[in-house]
Structure 1
Amino acid sequence: MLEAIRTAFKLPDLRKKIIWTLVLLGIFRIGTLIPVPGPWNAKALEQLFGGNNNLFGLLDLLAGGALRKMSVFAMSVNPYITSSIIVQLLTMVIPQLEALSKEGVEGRKVINQYVRYGTVLLAIIQGSAMAFGLRSAMNSPTIWDFVLIISTLTAGSVFLMWLGEVISERGIGNGISLLIFGGIVARIIPSSISTLTTVGSKGVGTSAFSIVAFLVLAVLIVAGVVFVTQGERKIPVQYAKRVVGRKMYGGGSTYLPMRVNQAGVIPIIFASSILAFPPTIAQFLAPTNWLYKFLNLFSPGRGIYLFLYALFIFVFTYFYTAVTFNPLEVSNNMKKYGGFIPGIRPGKPTAEYLDRVLTRITLAGALFLTVVAILPYLMNFIPGFRGLSVQFGGTALLIAVGVAIDTMKQIEAQLIMRQYEGFLK
């Protein structure tokens, strides 16, 4: 692996891509240190964002700690991710968008422009909600203070969208994913120290056992994430020979890869976003209000929250897999180019076969996502692990490991194209 890294830096164009990526990620990290201008009350902000199991834990993790610091990148790329998901869902129900998605590069450019417009709109809405929601942490704010805060947060989120696109274009890997990855990596050390301090404060014997158990569990989770992220079902596909003029084409065999975790971490983000609404609304109500007490039942760590969180992740995994993989469309494309699965008739029987296989392997992926996502919450019920931070848990590992593997594969492909040995020999 070290030899592959040295080889990558010896190649001028690949070295330039890697340096571009590192420099732009450095700009992102610097931006997380620049505070949003406004009449902030530092103690009030600390009380609001303090604690391990607060509502803003996941958002702060994805922002690389920018939310807790109330920096210009506090909203991170969340508006862009939400806009992308909305446009992707609308593509399924609006014929015009569906037609655009099938028009190749030009169609994708138009759809990406819609995503950008949606990002700006959502950034304004989310920035407004954040500004007015944090008014209790300000000292006598004026309307111009709110305008300045909303404008700064919106500009920061739009700048990160642009930064992600530049990384994708000139660097290595997916820019938006790498920005989230950079934020998570920046939080690894402080979160790990905080977690080890928590599990190690139960007495000498308990401390040693808890720390060892935590480290072993972390290694097992990482290994499981790698295994499931890389896991796929290979469906053999045979292509019939075709005679065009005096030449014969086709006749080869290949396979159709179907990933176990086709949906990635999108179901977790969906579930977290939906379940964030009740506790958010509760923050604006008086503690004595009956609605406050009811909405507080959906706070992270409560039984109802864990049940709904697991249920939403499981359901959304199947839903998003259906969005990203259409068995009928794949079957029609195979038939169009003379491909078929041995033992399965082309057309509808092939689509039904692919749907059955997808349903089975998605079950494994959905169960894995659900277990990894709720495991940090469940560990709080185990003696020696109570008070454990859930901010750096399964979700963070899924994102970090997934992005790392994807980036390594892209560097690997660049090296193989130049006939060099890569990472994954």
Structure 2
Amino acid sequence: MAWYEVLPELKSPVKKLSFNTKLGWTLAALTMYFVLSHIPLYGLSPAYKTQFEALAVLLAASFGSIISLGIGPIVTASIVLQLLNSAGVLNIDTNTTDGKKKYQAFQKVFALAFVVFENALYVMSGALPSATGTLPVQVLMIIQLIIGGVILMFLDELTSKWGFGSGISLFIAAGVSIQIITNGFNPFPDPNNPALPAGQAFKVIAFLLQGNFEAMIWPLVTILATVLVFAIVVYLQAMKVEIPLSFGRVRGFSIKWPLKFIYTSNMPVILVAALIASMSFWGLMLANMGLPLLGQFEEQSDGGQPVAVSGLAKYINPPTLRKIVVNPEMDDFISFFVYLSFMSLGAVVFSLLWMNIGGQDPSSVADQIMDSKLQIPGFRQDKRIITRLLSRYILPLTVLGGFSVGLLAAFADLLGALSRGTGILLAVMIIYQLYEQIAQQHSHDMPDFLRRFMK
């Protein structure tokens, strides 16, 4: 028996699950996630200031809780594993059943290792300061964070096998959705300005009633930016190339095999966004340890979270459109150009990696077509021919789709919407993907009102 066959794992369902069963497990996982995000980290210094709030939503993190790093270690482990396998260090063939099991086992081991390593480093570096500064309290904090990280790993596996989508995607979408609702439609007073409501929609109304049209512009821009990003993502999600196929033994009957423009879906954006967030975390941790390899950080004059003022950590966090318009600086334009390049090119790289790992490469798709007894009209039912023809579409779609979605994510962050632009983009893509999955797999057993809504 191979070593990876003895690793603990959640049992997969033996039969197809009903809509209600999947919905129940999905809601249970979401509820557990929100409970974890509200469990305070015992031993944390009362003087601790929340850091990287804008990035937290991309990692489904809740700073100051037992899931302070969210899915960050899990996604980082996935990135490292992809790079090692692509470089031939591990040399795992993910096209075979045994190879897929081995790859998933490595992913679980890597994820656990990064959960332990990153949480320990985050506490020991002082990024999560303990109340007493003593080693026993720091160890206690690390244990809590590891428990939280392991539970997140379990919830991700639970959702993937027994629910809708994956836990990582689900937690990101839930966090972004809540942030959009609270930032957009919170009627209660703004803590920074009690005379105004906190929600941007209510601020627009308040400024309109006051006749202060100049002040109304920026809250209105954030709302319009959110709607614009939403509309563009939905449009891109609907774009696809259809390959005509026919049954070799049934004349006159044909179908179309769809290849989406955003071919590898949301995972490349999740990976590159998580990489940027992790680099920011590492930059702060190294700076706290006296090793500013990724840049220097300074406390804000108002006592807010520390901000990168130099190095790569500064340039991978873009300015907002408001900052560029109101107080333009050359550094802001450099920062946005670096961020734009990082997001778009990074998304292309991860799209290509994910295409091969996720079984979406031309060879794997050709196998699916062959197994379905389908063929391309005018060509023999030969895998090599089908693979060569699919390569004409899949490789360009992978590159163009990844580049486009990375570019859109960067511009969405620049606009400064109700949540981080990348977060909105991911949430829309995740929800749209869930919609398609549910409509395809459960059109026969979902409640009538949902079936009418899905049409």
> TM-score normalised by the shorter chain: which range applies?
0.7 to 0.9
Structure with more of its chain in helix, by fraction: 1
Q: Deviations over 1:190-248 (max 9, x none)?
A: 3335572898598811233444443233222111111212322111123433xxxxxxx
**1:364 deviation in Å?**
4.9
TM, length-normalised to structure 2:
0.71
**Alignment partners' CA distance in 1, 2:221 and 2:65:** 36
TM, length-normalised to structure 1:
0.76
**Alignment partners' CA distance in 1, 2:199 and 2:287:** 27
**1:18 deviation in Å?**
1.7
Which runs of 5 or more structure 2 residues have no equivalent in the other structure? 1-16, 187-197, 297-308, 319-331
Query: What amino acid is aligned across from residue 280 of structure 1 in structure 2?
Result: L
Alignment partner of 1:231 out of 223, 239, 242: 239
**Alignment partners' CA distance in 1, 2:80 and 2:293:** 34
CA distance change for structure 1 residues 240 and 64 in 2, over 3 Å: closer, same or farther?
A: closer
Alignment partner of 1:71 out of 65, 76, 90: 65
Alignment partner of 2:376 out of 341, 357, 370: 341
Query: What amino acid is aligned across from residue 29 of structure 2 in structure 1?
Result: L
Q: Is residue 2:161 matched to residue 1:166?
A: no
Indicate the residue corresponding to 1:57 in structure 2: 54
Q: Is residue 2:122 matched to residue 1:86?
A: no
Query: Matched residues, percent identical?
Result: 21
Indicate the residue corresponding to 2:33 in structure 1: 28
**Alignment partners' CA distance in 1, 2:234 and 2:136:** 49
1:6-405 mapped onto 2 (5 Å cutoff):
13-38=18-43, 40-43=44-47, 45-46=48-49, 49=51, 55-58=52-55, 60-64=56-60, 66-67=62-63, 70-94=64-88, 98-99=92-93, 101-104=94-97, 107-134=99-126, 137-192=129-184, 193=186, 196=200, 204-241=212-249, 252-276=253-277, 277=279, 279-280=283-284, 283-284=287-288, 292=296, 294-295=310-311, 297-298=314-315, 300-301=317-318, 302-323=332-353, 324=355, 325-331=360-366, 339-342=374-377, 351-362=387-398, 364-379=400-415, 388=416, 392-405=419-432
Query: What amino acid is aligned across from residue 410 of structure 2 in structure 1?
Result: I
**1:142 deviation in Å?**
1.6
**Alignment partners' CA distance in 2, 1:107 and 1:347:** 21
CA distance change for structure 1 residues 199 and 363 in 2, over 3 Å: closer, same or farther?
A: farther
Indicate the residue corresponding to 2:437 in structure 1: 410
**1:63 deviation in Å?**
4.9
**Alignment partners' CA distance in 2, 1:180 and 1:274:** 15
| Counterpart contact for 1:164–1:179, Cα < 8 Å | no
CA distance change for structure 1 residues 328 and 28 in 2, over 3 Å: closer, same or farther?
A: closer
**Alignment partners' CA distance in 1, 2:289 and 2:418:** 25
CA distance change for structure 1 residues 344 and 88 in 2, over 3 Å: closer, same or farther?
A: farther
Q: Deviations over 1:359-393 (max 9, x none)?
A: 544565345323432234433xxxxxxxx5x7813
**1:178 deviation in Å?**
1.4
**Alignment partners' CA distance in 1, 2:116 and 2:100:** 24
Corresponding residue SS for 1:167: helix
**1:333 deviation in Å?**
6.4
Which runs of 5 or more structure 1 residues have no equivalent in the other structure? 1-11, 50-54, 242-248, 380-387
| Counterpart contact for 2:177–2:427, Cα < 8 Å | yes
CA distance change for structure 1 residues 414 and 142 in 2, over 3 Å: closer, same or farther?
A: same
**1:61 deviation in Å?**
0.9
CA distance change for structure 1 residues 158 and 111 in 2, over 3 Å: closer, same or farther?
A: same
**RMSD, matched Cα:** 3.8
**1:86 deviation in Å?**
3.4
**1:112 deviation in Å?**
1.9
| Counterpart contact for 2:241–2:261, Cα < 8 Å | yes
**Alignment partners' CA distance in 2, 1:255 and 1:166:** 33
Corresponding residue SS for 1:255: strand
Query: What amino acid is aligned across from residue 283 of structure 1 in structure 2?
Result: A
| Counterpart contact for 2:314–2:335, Cα < 8 Å | yes
**Alignment partners' CA distance in 2, 1:75 and 1:270:** 15
More moved, 155-164 vs 268-277: 268-277
**Alignment partners' CA distance in 2, 1:211 and 1:135:** 33
CA distance change for structure 1 residues 183 and 289 in 2, over 3 Å: closer, same or farther?
A: closer
**Alignment partners' CA distance in 1, 2:441 and 2:294:** 60
**1:256 deviation in Å?**
2.7
**1:29 deviation in Å?**
0.6
**1:37 deviation in Å?**
1.6
**Alignment partners' CA distance in 1, 2:74 and 2:293:** 35
Corresponding residue SS for 1:238: strand
**Alignment partners' CA distance in 2, 1:65 and 1:330:** 35
Equivalenced residue count is 385
Corresponding residue SS for 1:416: coil
CA distance change for structure 1 residues 174 and 252 in 2, over 3 Å: closer, same or farther?
A: farther
